[in-house]
Structure 1
Amino acid sequence: MARTDSRGLPISTASDLAAERYREGVDLMLSTWPGAAEALEGAIAADPGFALAHAARARLHAMRSEPAAAKARIATALEAVARRGTERERNHVEILSLVLNGRTAEAIDRVSAHADAWPRDVVILSLPLGAFGLLAFSGRADHDQARVDLCERHAGHFAADDWWFLTYRGWSHAENGNVALGRDLTQRGFDLRPHNANAAHALSHAMHEGGANDEADRLIEAWLPTYPRSGILHGHIAWHAALAALEHGDAARALALYGAHVQPSASTGNAVNVVSDTASFLWRLQAYGHAVPEGLWQAAAAYAAPAFPGAGFAFADLHMALLAAATGDREGLERRASALAALAEAGTLPAGPVVPALCRAALAFAEGDYAGCARLLEPVAPEVVRVGGSGAQRELVEDMLLLALMRSGESTKAGALLDRRLHRRPSPRDRAWHGLLAA
């Protein structure tokens, strides 16, 4: 009898135990839930030549910011699939190898063709989706729509109760502006599998985009204690709760959440989450008029320095610039911005010239040159989406522009931006800023 994965696709193993442990490991990995590594290692122990288990283990290493281990394991998977594997499995492993070896543009094209042939191969279909997926980090300005298009093209191949597909289909719609549909789909996915950090995360985003920050806060407060602290998204989901506290001006609660879950010494997240969460939280705290306790900026910068020493990863570059600006590393920030400008000019920076402009705007804001910050940000504002991440994460740049306009006396422009934001997503903070402008 043929063994299958959790979506019914045949897998090349003769071991029932290996198949069972693989299904378990993949579903845990797709849930960003602890236990995936142990399940996949169990699959490999039961069948050392099982290529897909090695490939999934490689993917999990990458999710844990363990690139050397990921590359070694995907090499093992390539050798194994050459000896024993179907066409689908060979394509599956080869695509993951492209991703894990940094050949992401090639991988995106291969994923699309693979999904057309085998849409229920969820490990591969997951790669372009989410805030940190291949599409988000492709540099495309339309990556939110591209995720919706991908999900809708293949929606007919998934059961109505497929918790994974509901989660990412919902996430894609919510990020692309169809918040009501996105929240409904994501809620259904979450209800089917509450032990799914991606669903809790996507639902909190959908609530945020709909202006329901208090609901998101209650969701996280109830759900986070059920998620082991070793989970990759534990600190990031707590970051959402900290932002909700800042919405209401509760800096004490926001800092308590930061200290317990988000700061580098507390978080078990991967490097890009830790760097972006710490830099963006501390920036917001300070920009919204609250004091940043002694040492927090320095601790975040010390963690980030070895994680992203060079320029070229736009989303990380933005947050590295925030840290450099806040800690007074003007030379380091300008060095990064210049390197990014050279990459953009050479056409090798997917997100393009928006990235060095954001870096220099962060420095201008930190130095109190609000007019200069606004001059840098206004022309590139429509292109900020190209750095990737989520709408909630990129909102920081819009906040920077808004505050720069307010503080440089551009009240008409600031008011127009605030009106658009309040129409899109009402929030207590924006209403308070609107009141300041009207006074």
Structure 2
Amino acid sequence: MPIKDAFGLAFSGATEAGFAPYSQAVRQLQCFIGDPVAAVDRAITQDPGFVMAHVFKGYLFGLATEREAMAVARACHEAALPLAATKREQAHVSALGRLANGRWHEAAGILDDIAIDFPLDAVALQVGHQIDFFTGNARMLHDRIARASPSWQSDMPGYHAILGMQAFGLEEMGEYIRAEKLGRTAVEIEPRDGWAQHAVAHVMEMQSRQRDGIAWMRANPEAWTRESFLKVHNWWHLALFHYDLGDTDEVLALYDGPIYGARSMLALNMVDASAILWRLYLGGADVGDRWAALAANWAPKAGAANYAFNDAHAMMAFVGAGLDAPVRTLLEAQREAMAGNDDNATFTRDVGHPLTLGIKAFGEGNYPEAIGLIRPIRAIANRFGGSHAQRDVIDLTLIEAALRAGDGALATALTAERSMARPDSPLAALFSRRAADLSEN
């Protein structure tokens, strides 16, 4: 008889000895803590025929957005293919195969079907939710979890993760009050749930509640930073609140400390580093030699072009550091990517390539060209992934380009739009004053 979990789901090829570290890996991913790869490796060593252990490891690498990691995900898929599996597990193997080969949307669809049939399949829900994030699918960030929610009870293991994911989905759909309530509840249940912590931070970012956001992040940082692989991103959220308040010194202190003091080579962490430095760059802040150090770490990835969202943030670093060679490498790699037939070809063609060129034009002081490249993609920018908070850098760049180009009409229109969305934002007020000054002169 196959091992069954607390929800009655069967796990082919697993023994109790192998299932224990697998369960640990799942719990770690639900909180974004520890080393789930090491845990699932222990499960595979114990039970080489444990199909879901191979699949889960593949998911971890497939969601890393690194070219080298995708090769590991494909190897995990190959290892899983011949193993005994239930229909549910076979669907997971199929989903991993799609993800490992850049078919993000197909993988998301298969995982959705699994969760509809098995709403207590926590892995299907969580991996699907992450793919929805990486593909910028706000509707599914909400709906995927909403469909399963009635099947979950508060005494079930991992319930906090369901609440945290639902909170983020609600936030991305603009349902801020419910999002904050569920996110706070998730953190009360499991203080180390970094995703739920981040969902509440997103609410406060979108509502321009800077002081509330700082208080929320500062209240118990030990909980969301200890052994957390989401901690850099959550520190980035704290920096955003200080950025909106114009507290540049605190932003730089956070950058030099928990955001990029360790100078991570992981793309997910470098994205956050680029994103905060670029925001300061737009405001004319002197960031010293920080760009050079960050660009040096991006340079080896310039030719990857496997995830367009990363490319745009790499370009920010290259522009900030004044480098030419990696810019050429990146743009050539993007042109090759657009000739492909995976989902990233579309991500790059629709949003990533024009945005990357727009960032380059901005750095060159060609603000009209930057405007021409960035304006058409704003309404479809979700197609290349990320959250509303992350993609806000596109709007910030466009507003600054309009102001620097001396385009008073466009600057006035864009700043009015931002003031309507963020009426309590000091940065929005600053933009409005600058636009008014431009129109008067």
1:174 and 2:174 matched? no
Shift of 1:61: 4.2
Please tell me whether the aligned partners of residues 112 and 128 of structure 2 are also in contact (alpha carbons under 8 angstroms): no
Equivalent residue number for residue 266 of structure 1:
262
**2:312–2:355 contact (8 Å) kept in structure 1:** yes
Residue-by-residue CA offset, 1:61-80 (whole Å, 9 max, x unaligned):
4456544444434433334x
Q: Structure 1 residues 267 and 88, CA, compared in 2 at 3 Å: closer, same or farther?
A: farther
> Are 1:293 and 2:283 matched, yes or no?
no
Aligned-pair distance for 1:230?
4.4
Pairing 1:135–2:138 present: no
Structure 1 residue 391 displacement after superposition: 0.9
Cα deviations across residues 129-148 of structure 1 (Å, max 9, x unaligned)?
Answer: 2xxx333444x7xx212322
Tell me which amino acid in the other structure corresponds to 1:412: A
Residue identity matched to 1:277: D
Q: Is the 8 A contact 2:302 2:329 kept in 1?
A: no
Q: Does 1:350 align with 2:346?
A: yes
- State the match for 1:15 in structure 2: 15
Q: Which amino acid aligns with 2:352?
A: V
Q: Is the 8 A contact 1:224 1:234 kept in 2?
A: no
Unaligned runs of 5+ in 1: none
Aligned length: 427
Structure 1's 308 and 124: CA in aligned 2 closer, same or farther, altered over 3 A? farther
Contact 1:136 / 1:388 at 8 angstroms: preserved in 2?
yes
Answer whether contact 1:13 1:47 (CA < 8 A) is retained.
yes
Distance 1:45 1:330 in 2: 46
> Cα gap change, 1:34/1:267 in structure 2, threshold over 3 Å: closer, same or farther?
farther
How far did residue 393 of structure 1 move?
Answer: 0.9
Given the superposition, is the C-alpha separation of residues 408 and 156 from structure 1 closer, same or farther in structure 2, using an over 3 Å criterion? same
Report if the CA contact (8 A) 1:261-1:267 is conserved.
no
1:327-373 superposed Cα distances (whole Å, 9 cap, x missing partner): 23345435544654575577762223332221121112112222222
Once the 2 structures are TM-superposed, how far is the Cα of residue 183 of structure 1 from its aligned partner?
Answer: 1.8
- 1:300 to 1:7, Cα distance in 2 relative to 1, 3 A: farther
**Matched residue type, 2:262:** A
Q: Please, which of 134, 143, 147 is the counterpart of residue 141 of structure 2? A: 147
Q: Are 1:282 and 2:285 an aligned pair?
A: no
Give 1:402's aligned amino acid. Answer: I
Q: Which residue of 2 aligns with 1:52?
A: 52
Provide closer, same or farther for how the CA distance between residues 57 and 355 of structure 1 changes in structure 2, counting only shifts above 3 A.
closer
Instruction: Report the Cα offset of residue 173 of structure 1.
Output: 1.5
Residue in structure 2 matched with residue 375 of structure 1 by the alignment? 372
Once the two structures are TM-superposed, the CA of residue 46 in structure 1 deviates from its matched residue by 4.5
| Contact kept in structure 2, 1:2 and 1:11, CA below 8 Å | yes
Corresponding position of 1:97: 97
SS in 2 for 1:292: coil
- More divergent stretch after superposition (311-320 vs 168-177): 311-320
1:134-283 equivalences under 5 Å are: 134-138=131-135, 143-160=137-154, 162-228=159-225, 230-263=227-260, 266=262, 271-283=266-278
Could you tell me how far 1:35 is from its partner in structure 2? 4.5
Say which SS state the counterpart of residue 365 (structure 2) adopts.
coil
Deviations along 1:13-63, whole A, 9 cap, x unmatched? 563343343323211112111143454344445544322223223333445
Task: Name the TM-score, length of structure 1 as normaliser.
Answer: 0.87
Q: CA deviation at 1:274?
A: 2.0
Match of 1:109 in 2: 109
Given the superposition, is the C-alpha separation of residues 329 and 14 from structure 1 closer, same or farther in structure 2, using an over 3 Å criterion? closer
Match of 1:412 in 2: 409
- TM-score when normalising by structure 2: 0.87
Q: Secondary structure at the match of 2:94?
A: helix
Counterpart contact for 1:275–1:300, Cα < 8 Å: yes
Give the Cα separation in 1 of the matches to 2:78 and 2:22: 19
1:73-132 deviation digits (Å, cap 9, x = unpaired) = 4433334xx2x3322122223322332343434323322322222222221222232xxx
Is the contact made by 1:276 and 1:319 (CA closer than 8 Å) also made in structure 2?
yes
Does structure 1 retain, via aligned residues, the 8 Å contact 2:205–2:213? yes
Q: Is the 8 A contact 2:168 2:179 kept in 1?
A: yes
1:312-327 equivalence runs, <5 A: 312-327=306-321
| 1:5 and 1:22 in contact (8 A); partners too | no
Residue 290 of structure 1 deviates from its aligned partner by 1.2
